[in-house]
Structure formats: structure tokens, C-alpha cells
């Protein structure tokens, strides 16, 4: 029997968290209370008429009795349940009243530096290095070399790992403490790791097994083995987030500058609680154009957070940082404390508008190409509106990461967005029956989408990009050319302008070369194209902030570009047809 122990590099953190304790009421419990409001009955009848397992009915009734909303009575025919006065009042509400306890506690957590997964400390015990070194004098231990790249912890994995089903995250106290470097010890017996948490990803298990196969050098008991060549992070593992079933239609596609102007003005008009805007750039004159709408929303008690991504545009416009300073100076004498223009750059090129729909658990998110606070709303833009809570929560998660800034420090806004994400996922509206599917695309997920179009397209690939640069050929044109050559797919590529690194003559040569194989490349000067679209066949498309033909975001900045992939019957055809009407008019 072969037994080797592997020292896995981990990080240990300890933070104070605030949360609500208490499981929220379910739809089943509400339905049972409504049924008892109409007629007292037995658990067996409730089970039969509701088509619900009797065990589930009994568990729900016990909770309702503990709340004082249902009481149990003995009858000749058996035990029956009936609603109380307080229960009748509770049943009249749209959602059953919940009274969770607000608690706080310090929590320890561990992050393995191989996969970037977060664990509770009891899931993956950790040790100081000297403890492992002492054991290495008596046992066969191989050390996995600690990655040099610093860990940038993500919000959602941390919250999901630390809280139980009946606990709802509220906030985390800010702390300047760095995570401590520690080690976990995993036993590998006959090439099988023992004691890894059940949530541990395959990447960690494979790394441990691979390193265990390497015999320790007896001359150097403290042998560090570099594996894998570069650390895997959560962002690398999930460039495509979970796919969600959604309700989406043509009315959720926003095309053209005027439509985007109308969308942000309508959003500011109808929001009741909060609005969040991420615009790559902010221009003083464009901000002032929207200021009357912003003031009106603030007057209704709406909290407005504004994030910005980059300092200066490629056209050499005035820096956003200077614009933010000027705006704050001009508004200093106004009591606009609920307007929070954050002073730091997120480093992202994404464009997102997020707002409630009049209640605290219903939000919409617009994701696409429009710089909401710097656009003159005259270009051809493209955005898609998302309304289903699960995918909107995914957008909120990305905004929570961006709210930490480039240094990765939690802010009050990070706490607020993390709590909003949890609230959306637990919303009564989170179960939908839409016929379409959608998922958020970040980082290297964009090239994956191009390869998906290459492999799945049957008759058409359509690409729209603001710019054409040197990155366009390997990222988009080469995969599209493969589809055109192998399956006769028609490829239409539209762009607005070229990057400095690629002049018009070079583009003309590329276009002439590829036209022989069915790839059409066309420059559209007027109207100005700013939309970023990848669509194939009739049903699938991606709307994003990434310039398909010029951008190639680095792996260590996964949220530099954010988009949405949608699979909906006939919607890609509608999108492309509508887009073509804009520039062909």
C-alpha cells in the first residue's frame, strides 16, 4: 500500500459577518395556510388535494403551528388542523411575514490556492508551516508550491460557502488584514485522496494525485512541486456562468441610441429604491443632460450608485476622473447624499444599468454596449434587458466584484450588492417558466462563444464590432472562416472604425482574401456603429461590451468585458434584421 501526504497551499481568513437567521416561508406553506383559511381539514386531505407528500405537509404544519397561525384539534373523525386569527391575517399578505433574528459572528474560512475554492475551516483543516515541516521529518510529504499570484477572493463563493440555508448574508465588517498563508494536509492512499471536502473541485483532486505520484527527494525532505503551471482561480473556472431559464422577447432587445436614452430615462422615472450604473466613461455634459431625471429619482428616495471603468477613451476625451471631480464640485451645495459617484476606477469596459421595478425583490438589468453616462445616444447601440431574478443576481455578483476596485477591497457597496444578490435568489419570483435560456459571459468566455458559433452554426454568423484591430483575425475571423469553409456558413462582419494598429488598407486586404470563402467584411461609417453583437442562425446571440474584432481581455481581468448569451427561438434573426435596418436606412 502506497501512502503519501500532500501539503496543499491554502489561505486562512477570519472576518466578522452580519446575517439574518431564520428560514423564510415557502410557497407550499403559504398555500397550505390559504387552504386552511377556507376550510379546516386533515393533513391527509391537504396532501391529497395539493398533490404534496404527507411528510412535507406535516413538517409545514408544524412550522405554521410554532408561528401561532395554525392549531391542531381532536375530532371524532381524527386530528384536524384549522387556521387561527393571526394565521388568517398572515395569509392575507402577498408574502407571509417573516421575523428573522439579526446575528453577528466571526467566521473562519479557508481558500485552497490550487482551485480558488472557499471552504469553512472545519471542511479543510489547516496548519502552520512549521507543523508540516516537523511531520515531514517522519512521514513522506510532498509540498505543492504556493502560487505567486495573489488571491483575489470573490464575493459570491465566500457567501455561499459560509452560510446555512436559514441564514441570509447582510454584510461583512471591513478589514485590512491580509489572508494568512497556511497549509492543509491531504492523504493519498493508493492514488486516492482521502479527506477532501465533497465540494472540492476535480482540479484540486487531480493536482493532489499528480503531486503524490512524485517521490520526495530523500536529500531534501521539503520538496516543492509546481502544479499546475499557473494557479486556477474561480474566474478562470467560470468564464461562463450558470445558464438560466428566462422569459425574454423582442421587446427586451434595445437597439439604437434614442432607444437607450429612453431606457435610462424610464428607469430613473420608475425606480423606487435603487439604481446602479456602470459606464466605461463619464462626460460632464452627458451627465448634466440626465441630471433632472436623477434629481427626480433622488427626490423619491432612490439610492443611485455610479461606477466607472476607464479614465480616458481611445479618442482622447477628457478623463473620467476629472469629470467625476467636476460633477462633485458642481453638486457640492446640493443635498444629494443618496447620489454616490464612486471615486475609483473599476478597470472595466462593461456597460450595465441595474434598477428595481418598484419593489425590493424585482430588478431589471440592461447589459450591452452603451456608455450610459457619456453617450450622446446617436450611435447604433445594442443592449438586452434581463428580468428573471436568478440571472439578474448573476449581474449583481459581477457588479459586487467591480465595486471592490482594482485592489480587491470590500466596500459598503460590495456588502450591499452581495446582500441584494442573496435577496434576489431567495425571491418568490425566482422560479420562472420561460422558454428561453441565458447566461452571463465574462473574460475568456467571449472566445468560447465564438468557438460555439463556429461549431454550431448552420447557415449564418453575424458580427458587429465598433473597432477592427489585430485581435480580430485570430479571435473571430479564423473561427468564422472555418465554419464558412467546412459547412458553407455565410459570415457577415460589420465594423465602425479601425484601431491605430491596423489601417484601412490592411482591412481591405483581409476582406478581399476572406471574401472568396464566403466571409463578408464591411465598414459602416454612418451611422456610427458601437454595438457589439455575435449572432448565429436564428436563435442564438451574444450582446456584450467587448469589441469582437479588436479586444482580447487578459485572463487576470475577467470582468473587463461583460455580456449575455441568449438562446431563444427566432430572437437572433429578429435582432440581426432590426440591426440591419439601422445602418441601411
In a domain, 245, yes or no: no
In a domain, 225, yes or no: yes
Q: Are residues 158 and 38 in the same domain?
A: no
Q: What is the CATH number of the domain that holds 319?
A: 3.30.870
Q: Is the dihedral of CA 432, 356, 547, 562 positive or negative?
A: negative
Read off the pTM: 0.84
Q: Are residues 166 and 285 in the same domain?
A: no
Q: Are residues 490 and 411 in the same domain?
A: no
Buried b / exposed e across 253-281, counting CB within 10 Å, b at 16+? bbbbbeebbebbeebbebbebbbbbbbbb
Would you say 427 and 389 are in contact if contact means Cβ atoms under 8 Å apart? yes
Degrees to nearest 5, angle at CA 203 with 201 and 205 = 75
Q: Are residues 521 and 563 in the same domain?
A: yes
Q: What is the CATH number of the domain that holds 456?
A: 3.30.870.10
Q: Are residues 222 and 79 in the same domain?
A: no
In a domain, 43, yes or no: yes
Q: Are residues 38 and 114 in the same domain?
A: no
Q: Are residues 484 and 393 in the same domain?
A: no
List, in sequence order, the alpha helices (H) in 378-491. Answer: 389-402, 412-425, 445-456, 472, 478-487
412 lies in which domain range? Answer: 257-378+389-427
pLDDT in tens, the chain (585 residues): 678 889 999 999 999 999 998 877 888 888 999 999 988 999 999 998 888 898 899 989 998 998 899 999 888 778 899 999 888 888 888 778 877 888 999 999 999 998 889 999 999 999 999 999 988 888 888 899 888 877 767 899 999 999 988 888 999 998 767 889 999 999 999 889 998 998 899 889 988 988 888 765 544 456 777 765 444 444 444 556 889 999 999 999 999 999 999 999 999 999 999 999 999 999 999 999 999 999 999 999 999 999 999 866 544 445 888 899 999 888 888 888 899 999 889 989 999 999 999 887 789 999 999 999 999 999 999 999 999 999 999 999 999 999 998 777 889 999 999 999 998 988 766 566 688 999 999 988 999 999 999 999 999 999 999 989 888 889 999 999 999 998 999 999 999 887 766 777 788 888 888 888 889 999 888 888 999 999 999 999 999 999 999 888 777 788 999 999 999 999 999 999 999 987 666
Q: Are residues 141 and 268 in the same domain?
A: no
Instruction: Examine the fold and report which residue of 42, 64, 91 is the final residue of a domain before the chain moves on.
Output: 91
Instruction: Examine the fold and report which residue of 237, 269, 304 is the final residue of a domain before the chain moves on.
Output: 237
Q: Are residues 476 and 566 in the same domain?
A: yes
Q: Are residues 409 and 473 in the same domain?
A: no
CA proximity to 404, closest of 412, 395, 393: 412
CB atoms within 10 A of CB 97: 11
In a domain, 160, yes or no: yes
Q: What is the count of structural domains for the chain?
A: 4
Q: Are residues 423 and 520 in the same domain?
A: no
Q: What is the CATH number of the domain that holds 64?
A: 1.10.10.10
In a domain, 342, yes or no: yes
Q: Are residues 129 and 200 in the same domain?
A: yes
Phi, psi of 41 (to 5 degrees): -160, 180
Amino acid at each position: 500500500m502506497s501512502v503519501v501526504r500532500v501539503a496543499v497551499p491554502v489561505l486562512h481568513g477570519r472576518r466578522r459577518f452580519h446575517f439574518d437567521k431564520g428560514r423564510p416561508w415557502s410557497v407550499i406553506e403559504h398555500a397550505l395556510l390559504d387552504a386552511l383559511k377556507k376550510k379546516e381539514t386533515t393533513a391527509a386531505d391537504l396532501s391529497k388535494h395539493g398533490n404534496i407528500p404527507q411528510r412535507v405537509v406535516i413538517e409545514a404544519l408544524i412550522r405554521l403551528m410554532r408561528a401561532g397561525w395554525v392549531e391542531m384539534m381532536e375530532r371524532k373523525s381524527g386530528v384536524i388542523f384549522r387556521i387561527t386569527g393571526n394565521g388568517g391575517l398572515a395569509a392575507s399578505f402577498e408574502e407571509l411575514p417573516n421575523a428573522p433574528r439579526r446575528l453577528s459572528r466571526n467566521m473562519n474560512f479557508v481558500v485552497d490556492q490550487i482551485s480558488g475554492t472557499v471552504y469553512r475551516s472545519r471542511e479543510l483543516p489547516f496548519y502552520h508551516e512549521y507543523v508540516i515541516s516537523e511531520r515531514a521529518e517522519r512521514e513522506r510529504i510532498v509540498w505543492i508550491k504556493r502560487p505567486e499570484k495573489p488571491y483575489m477572493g470573490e464575493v459570491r463563493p465566500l457567501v455561499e460557502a459560509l452560510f446555512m440555508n436559514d441564514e441570509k448574508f447582510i454584510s461583512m465588517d471591513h478589514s485590512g488584514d491580509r489572508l494568512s498563508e497556511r497549509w492543509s494536509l491531504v492523504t493519498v492512499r493508493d492514488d486516492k485522496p482521502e479527506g477532501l471536502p465533497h465540494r472540492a473541485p476535480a482540479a484540486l483532486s487531480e493536482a493532489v494525485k499528480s503531486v503524490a505520484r512524485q517521490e520526495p527527494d530523500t536529500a531534501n525532505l521539503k520538496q516543492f512541486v509546481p502544479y499546475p503551471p499557473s494557479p486556477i482561480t474561480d474566474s478562470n473556472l467560470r468564464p461562463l456562468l450558470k445558464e438560466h431559464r428566462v422569459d425574454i422577447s423582442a421587446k427586451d432587445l434595445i437597439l439604437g441610441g434614442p432607444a437607450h436614452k429612453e431606457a435610462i430615462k424610464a428607469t430613473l422615472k420608475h425606480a423606487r429604491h435603487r439604481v446602479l450604473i456602470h459606464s466605461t466613461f463619464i462626460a460632464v455634459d452627458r451627465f448634466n443632460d440626465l441630471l433632472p431625471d436623477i434629481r427626480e429619482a433622488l427626490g423619491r428616495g432612490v439610492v443611485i450608485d455610479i461606477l466607472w471603468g476607464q479614465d480616458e477613451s481611445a479618442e482622447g476625451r477628457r478623463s473620467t476622473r476629472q469629470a467625476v471631480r467636476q460633477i462633485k464640485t458642481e453638486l457640492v451645495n446640493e443635498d444629494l447624499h443618496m447620489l454616490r459617484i464612486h471615486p475609483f476606477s473599476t478597470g472595466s469596459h462593461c456597460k450595465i444599468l441595474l434598477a428595481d421595478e418598484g419593489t425590493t425583490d424585482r430588478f431589471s438589468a440592461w447589459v450591452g454596449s452603451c456608455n450610459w453616462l457619456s453617450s450622446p445616444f446617436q450611435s447604433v447601440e445594442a443592449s438586452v434587458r434581463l428580468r428573471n431574478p436568478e440571472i439578474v443576481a448573476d449581474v449583481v455578483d459581477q457588479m459586487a466584484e467591480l465595486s471592490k476596485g482594482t485592489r480587491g477591497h470590500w466596500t459598503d457597496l460590495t456588502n450591499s450588492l452581495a446582500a441584494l444578490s442573496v435577496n434576489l435568489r431567495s425571491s418568490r419570483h425566482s422560479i420562472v417558466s420561460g422558454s428561453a435560456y441565458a447566461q452571463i459571459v465574462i473574460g475568456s468566455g467571449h472566445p468560447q462563444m465564438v468557438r460555439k458559433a463556429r461549431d454550431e452554426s448552420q447557415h449564418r454568423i453575424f458580427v458587429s464590432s465598433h473597432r477592427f484591430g489585430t485581435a480580430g483575425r485570430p479571435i473571430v475571423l479564423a473561427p468564422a472562416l472555418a465554419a464558412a469553409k467546412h459547412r458553407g456558413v455565410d459570415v457577415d462582419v460589420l465594423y465602425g472604425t479601425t484601431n491605430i494598429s491596423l489601417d484601412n488598407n490592411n482591412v481591405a486586404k483581409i476582406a478581399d482574401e476572406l471574401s472568396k470563402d464566403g466571409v463578408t467584411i464591411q465598414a459602416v461609417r454612418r451611422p456610427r456603429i458601437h454595438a457589439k453583437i455575435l449572432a448565429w442562425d436564428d436563435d442564438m446571440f451574444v450582446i456584450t461590451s467587448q469589441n469582437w474584432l479588436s479586444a482580447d481581455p487578459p485572463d487576470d481581468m475577467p470582468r473587463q468585458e461583460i455580456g449575455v448569451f441568449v438562446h431563444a427561438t427566432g430572437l437572433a434573426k429578429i435582432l440581426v434584421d432590426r440591426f440591419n435596418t439601422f445602418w441601411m436606412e
